[in-house]
Amino acid sequence: MKDERELTVQFRPSGHRIKVIPGQTVLEAVLAQGYRMPHACDNGVCHICSATVLDGELEKDALVNVMRCGKAQVLLCRARPAGDCEFELNALWGPNELETKKLAMQVKSIESLSADIYRVILLAPAGQNPEFFAGQYLQLLIPGLDSAFFSIANAPGSREIELHIQVHSDQQSAVTILNYLRDNPVVKAMLPLGNSYLASVPDTDVILVAAGTGFSQMKSLAEYLLANEYSGQITLYWGVRQREEMYLRQWVETWANETSQLTFVPVSADNKDNEWPGHHAELVREVLAKGHQWANSLVFVSGSPTMVYTALDALGPSGLPEHQFFSDVLEYAPR
pLDDT computed for residue 65 by the predictor: 54
Q: Is the peptide bond before 22 cis (omega within 30 degrees of 0)?
A: no
Q: Cβ neighbours of residue 278 under 8 Å, at least 6 residues apart?
A: 269, 271
For the chain, percent of residues with pLDDT exceeding 70: 93
Residue 2 above 50 pLDDT?
Answer: no
Q: Cβ neighbours of residue 159 under 8 Å, at least 6 residues apart?
A: 123, 124, 125, 126, 128, 129, 130
pLDDT computed for residue 277 by the predictor: 54
CATH architecture of 205-332: 3-Layer(aba) Sandwich (3.40)
Decide if 156 contacts 131 (C-beta within 8 A): yes
Q: What is the mean pLDDT of residues 265-279?
A: 67
CB neighbourhood size of 270 (10 A) = 10
pLDDT computed for residue 4 by the predictor: 57
From residue 170, how far is each of 173, 174, 176, 286 by CA, in Å? 9, 9, 11, 32
pLDDT computed for residue 61 by the predictor: 57
Q: What is the mean pLDDT of residues 299-328?
A: 94
Better pLDDT: 187 or 243: 187
pLDDT digits (tens, 9 = 90+) for 9-32: 999 988 899 999 988 999 999 999
For helices 305-315 and 278-289, the axis angle rounded to 10 degrees is 30
Better pLDDT: 136 or 95: 136
**Domain range summary for the chain, segments of one domain joined by +:** 7-88, 101-193, 205-332
pLDDT digits (tens, 9 = 90+) for 53-111: 999 989 875 555 555 555 788 999 989 999 999 999 988 888 888 889 999 999 999 99
pLDDT digits (tens, 9 = 90+) for 171-198: 899 999 999 999 999 999 999 999 899 9
Residue 158 above 90 pLDDT?
Answer: yes
pLDDT computed for residue 39 by the predictor: 86
Better pLDDT: 98 or 222: 222
- Homologous superfamily, domain 7-88: Beta-grasp domain (3.10.20.30)
CA distance 140 to 165: 12
Decide if 20 contacts 45 (C-beta within 8 A): no
Q: What is the mean pLDDT of residues 32-56?
A: 85
Q: What is the mean pLDDT of residues 116-136?
A: 95
pLDDT computed for residue 146 by the predictor: 86
Q: Across all residues in the chain, what is the average pLDDT? A: 90
Q: What is the mean pLDDT of residues 252-279?
A: 81
* pLDDT band, very low/low/confident/very high, at 273 (cuts 50, 70, 90): low
Q: Which of 206, 95, 202, 198 has its CA nearest to residue 152?
A: 198
- Homologous superfamily, domain 101-193: Translation factors (2.40.30.10)
- Residue environment code for 301-328, b if the CB has 16+ CB neighbours within 10 A, otherwise e: bbbeeebbbbbbebbeeeebeeebbbbb
Residue 230 above 60 pLDDT?
Answer: yes
CA distance 256 to 226: 11
Angle at 141 between CA 139 and CA 144, to 5 degrees: 125
* pLDDT band, very low/low/confident/very high, at 1 (cuts 50, 70, 90): very low
Decide if 196 contacts 135 (C-beta within 8 A): yes
Burial of 19 (0-12, 13-18, 19+ CB in 10 A): middle
Decide if 175 contacts 148 (C-beta within 8 A): no
